Amino acid sequence: MEHQCDEIFKKIVLLLDNELNQEEKDWLRDELIACPACLENYEMEKDFKEMLCEKLKCMESCECNEEQLKSKILSKIRNREK
């Protein structure tokens, strides 16, 4: 399968949501090792998710829209790659 950073990023999101099976996890780990850009995306998404969880913990009525934040981050990643 051809390496596509956008596709990998979708898998990263699933990984962090614990929605990948072991086989997919192993495959994704190899892809991350092979591609510094994807590894960076993984670190960023992981930090983002941790930050979000903390935010939700301390603010019950958080007005942040997770999807909006994600699309912002995604567009940042895409702009950087150009």
CB-nearer residue toward Zn ion: 14 or 35: 35
CB-nearer residue toward Zn ion: 16 or 37: 37
Q: What separation in angstroms does the CA of 32 have from each of 38, 52, 68?
A: 6, 23, 25
CB 57 to Zn ion: min, Å: 31
Whose CB is nearest to Zn ion? 35
Name the residues that contact Zn ion, by CB under 5 A.
5, 35, 37-38
Say how many C-beta atoms besides its own lie within 10 A of residue 37's C-beta.
15
CB-nearer residue toward Zn ion: 7 or 54: 7
CB 39 to Zn ion: min, Å: 8
Give the closest residue to 80 by CA, choosing from 30, 16, 5. 5
* CA–CA gap between residue 40 and residue 46 (Å, rounded): 10
